[in-house]
Structure 1
């Protein structure tokens, strides 16, 4: 069985792996990236040239009054350099905006598409709240990483290199050495301390996702929480995780304060040494006042971005940690995948066959054992049995949410693994026992069976499901919102919406999984007649608990502990006097066979 990532992130990882994963999405906008980089270089060249014009101004104005003249060239050069810095910087930002947002869109879309392609097993193991939080943080991390890398890290590093080159060109090597040494010490200290701090950030992320997952889980199952009076219990669980999150957050903040203190000391020492050296040069007559202004201006220009560089680097590392969990989602293997030579299923009359099917959700717990039966085209076959007998598993295998461990499920005589999943599922419609609706309108939920269907088709399906009159009685009619998971509708109303949705899909294969279990007797009879009419021309698999709903089935399969115990039509099974006859007798007498195992109530 594949293993899925559900726990905390590892203490260390290869950040280059994350960057390599992001790069194709950025390079898709290569023309904009190239233009933005050119603007970046031009902006920094203008920024480095600006203090040179300032030095010329100071030296020109520092001569005796009799020789003083307006330094027009220096003034114009200074103004043009300042303007160019701003102009090219803004142009860079404008060009790169679509790169950042476009990359975020493509990554988010790719992750969403991949999650939808993963197996049902993955989605049964994950927590929705934690998963959504990982994606949210990851997409924000992409924006932060790209913006601060292009707008801060690269420009600052480029400016540092240019300033060091100018100082080395105009003055002795001590100025360049002091500049590079200060920056080297600053970067080394930042890298060392930040690496040690990352464990706190990863711990915060894991605890945040865990707490959010529990909160969303409790809110989704709000009614169950209220039924059992477990509000305080759910609050304690949530608060327990948040308390651990606070501990990690405090450690993270304290370590940040220590990092800022160390960075401040290094910058202060470097600036003091450079100013001392330039002041000494003026005293010695080797440098002018303009030279001191030049060095001071460079230090001022570098101080702010260099001080910000520490913050940016820390946040980039945090962004990489945030992106880590999102990109890890793309690493989850698609358990059920189309074969390279998979073909399209195209038919209006399909046969279905289960041939010696073995299956288990876990390797050490088998659900189905050598199950075999056929559903001819246009026929109706019902499967009955106690809870846990494997009835609903049959529909999941038919939809190919899972692949069988042994045997095969065949449609039109061919293994379902030979078809594309999209074309296979397009031919199957299901009315499930547990109907979940989208938090949208009734019309949207019915139209989900065939996106793009017009209003007339939606209303025809609603009439066939005997829910049109109810919908029209509502103030907003078909535009009535159903709430989270359809909580604003009763169980019967939700099930009728699900029936209408499936009728709108109009599939050649129909699966009815306890399709009328939540309906009252009168509505159930009306819908049973309609379903019987609809199923007449379709290959139909009925998974049933109430035997009265399947007496007209062409064939009835009795499952017991994942094995076919009996099969035949209703009359034949009653005459057999076995398990089915016992179930019928119990239900007719008002008892509920679902309260116990089939093997507990039927003599061997």
Structure 2
């Protein structure tokens, strides 16, 4: 029953083409029939060479009818030729089946990887919270392949069952007594193998978990090289890596040994069985030709029997990977953001938050509570507050990375879910403290803002961002490779490349999330000048901790503990002696103390 449930889940998850299963099983069945036919042909072939015939009434009448048109002096040559043809056809069908199986294997893995990746980038789950990013990589790069391998094993299981059935039927036609004895013997052998490999399921799940730990160890070590060296912890990290790697090695070794067990046990069992059958056949007066054919069928049966048992054990071993992919797709399938039907027009009046509440998970407290405010078009709006006030959540809702738990976000009076998601996001662009650059050329990173832009537009965007001078001073200019996360250029240069990318995108709404927080004073000033020139008459939303960066804003929204507590122009908020005024005094006092 567990196998049936697992197979149903596997077929649903793999979603192979409808023709795949019938084709693979049909070709496998045809190969089994051709092979069985070839082995049965040994009976008349050996008889033509002088072997004693089988018991009357079994095969002789059928062979007499089929072979009667063949002249007696050509009979042996005809049977040899028929045997060769059956073997050639069987191997041709087997090769065709192998190609079809491998094709389906690759197709299923490709589609599944694409589906996992699509849901990863489309779902609104924060993977930094819900999943370790290394787990996602393991799921995409490793476990999706194992699902396709599981599908191949399932098909192989069905083909082996068909082959087993064909061979047993032919064996029954030769001798019911020998077949019955053989099946009882093989049943006990299968039970012994199952008993020896019963822990394959949990071992396979343990391998999946160890692989995730191994991926995490590699990811963290590579991303923390500077920290490891700075604290002289190379030996500690080496020991942790070796221990994790060794645990994976030992788990895989155990799983491999479980997979390998059916082979030798099955072969030894068949050998013992053949010896016993020879003795039984002698007492039952079964002819040499029929006995030879029966033993040939039985010997060839050990292949499907072994594969049948190995496929079952291998499926048990892959259960952890299959469950991992299934669980990941299930948890990321909802919530998908709903797609609207209208193209998003240019913002004319305002973006409005109307009684918005939001929580990241049903068991977590509200990150935003009854938030209402308006962001006027063509103006600069700053959102300030202490850490955890809800500023970044507001930014995420503006981009529709998530939708409100209750309430609405509207653009020119239309709820954001009414707009096509891609169309709305193309109206926005984000600059944050964490600059994301690809391990590619400077030109490719800037062009990410608009792939349709020409070289002149790309360089004009770099000039506005005050990046063109330093880019042209590099040996390879715009074709300079900047390394992982842009580590071959300075922090200020990374920010200006990112700003050039934003300018090339030409958004209606520019969102700045602590974009200058990590820059020194001189670099920040140059960046701010470039930003102010570009953002003139645009809708700009700024998130900042340093209040000195938001005093030129047209309005300031002050947030605390997920609520809006003040809104207004900077000068009015300073006069009110409210929360913003206290924050301003605190920061100015701290700066003054630092200066002393």
TM-score (norm 1): 0.84
SS in 1 for 2:435: coil
Distance in structure 1 (CA, Å) of the matches to 2:537 and 2:93: 69
Q: Is the 8 A contact 2:25 2:159 kept in 1?
A: no
Distance in 2, Cα, partners of 1:396 & 1:580: 23
Counterpart Cα distance in 2 of 1:212 and 1:266: 41
Indicate if the aligned counterparts of 1:278 and 1:295 stay in contact, CA closer than 8 A: no
2:30 to 33, 39, 42: 42
Q: State the partner residue of 1:21.
A: 12
Matches within 5 A, 1:379-398: 379-398=379-398
Aligned-partner SS, 1:436: coil
Determine if the alignment matches structure 1 residue 178 to structure 2 residue 166: no
Maintained 8 Å contact 2:429/2:502? yes
Measure how far apart 1:430 and its partner are. Answer: 0.8
Is the 1:278–1:291 Cα contact (8 Å) retained in structure 2? no
For 1:565-576, what aligned pairs fall within 5 Å after superposition?
565-576=565-576
Give the superposition deviation at 1:332: 0.7
CA distance in 2, matches of 1:407, 1:231: 51
> How far off is 1:110 after superposition?
1.2
Residues 340, 421 of structure 2: 8 Å contact kept: no
Instruction: State the alpha-carbon separation in 2 of the partners of residues 12 and 68 from structure 1.
Output: 54
Alignment of structure 1 residues 501-540 onto 2, 5 Å: 501-540=501-540
Alpha-carbon distance in 1 for matches of 2:134, 2:441: 23
Asked if the contact 2:384–2:544 (Cα under 8 Å) also holds between the matched residues in 1, the reply is: yes
Q: CA offsets per residue over residues 275-326 of structure 1, 9 Å max, x none?
A: 3223444xx4x41x32232123223322234334433332233234322211
Distance 1:181 1:550, change over 3 A: same
The 1:476/1:327 distance shift into structure 2, 3 A limit, reads: farther
Cα distance change of structure 1 residues 407 and 292 upon mapping to structure 2, 3 Å threshold: closer
Q: CA RMSD in A?
A: 3.3
Residue 166, structure 1, aligned to residue 157, structure 2: no
Q: Secondary structure at the match of 2:138?
A: helix
Counterpart mapping for 1:235-246 below 5 A: 235-239=238-242, 241-242=244-245, 244-245=247-248
After TM superposition, list the pairs within 5 Å mapping 1:125-164 onto structure 2. Answer: 125-150=130-155, 152-164=156-168
Q: Which runs of 5+ in 1 are unaligned?
A: 1-10, 596-604
Displacement, 1:156? 3.0
Cα distance in 1, alignment partners of residues 412 and 282 from structure 2: 91
What is residue 400 of structure 2 aligned with on the other side?
Answer: 400
**Offset at 1:101?**
1.8
Q: Is 1:553–2:544 an aligned residue pair?
A: no
Q: Gapped runs of 5+ residues in structure 2? A: 53-71
> Take 1:238 and 1:79, find their aligned partners in 2: how far apart are those partners?
56
In the other structure, the counterpart of 1:4 is: none
Aligned-residue offset at 1:119: 1.9
Question: Kindly tell me: are residues 500 and 73 of structure 1, through their superposed partners in 2, closer, same or farther at Cα, counting changes over 3 Å?
Answer: same
Q: Is the 8 A contact 1:351 1:411 kept in 2?
A: yes
Aligned 8 A contact 1:383 1:559 in 2: yes
**Counterparts of 1:279-290 in structure 2 under 5 Å?**
279-281=282-284, 284=285, 286-287=286-287, 289-290=288-289
From the superposition, tell whether residues 564 and 43 of structure 1 become closer, same or farther in structure 2 (CA, over 3 Å): closer
Residue among 75, 78, 88 paired with 1:73: 78
Determine if contact 2:25/2:158 at 8 Å carries over to the other structure.
Answer: no
Deviates more, 1:308-317 or 1:459-468: 308-317
Aligned length: 573
1:474 aligns with 2:474: yes
Residue of structure 2 in register with 1:541 after alignment? 541
Structure 1, 443-452 or 226-235: larger mean CA deviation? 226-235
Q: Deviation of residue 431 (structure 1)?
A: 0.4
SS at match of 2:86: helix
In 2, Cα distance between the equivalents of 1:310 and 1:592? 77
Q: 2:298 corresponds to which residue?
A: 299
Structure 1 match to 2:56: none
Q: 1:221 aligns with which of 220, 224, 237?
A: 224
Q: Counterparts of 1:288-437 in structure 2 under 5 Å?
A: 289-339=288-338, 343-349=342-348, 351-361=350-360, 363-437=363-437
Moved more, 385-394 or 11-20: 11-20
CA contact (8 A) 1:185 1:266 kept: no
Residue 39 to residue 16, structure 1, CA distance change in 2 (3 Å): closer
Residue aligning to 1:464: 464
Whether contact under 8 Å (2:163, 2:304) holds in the other structure is no
Q: CA deviation at 1:198?
A: 1.4
Question: Is residue 157–residue 307 contact of structure 2 (8 Å, CA) maintained in 1?
Answer: no
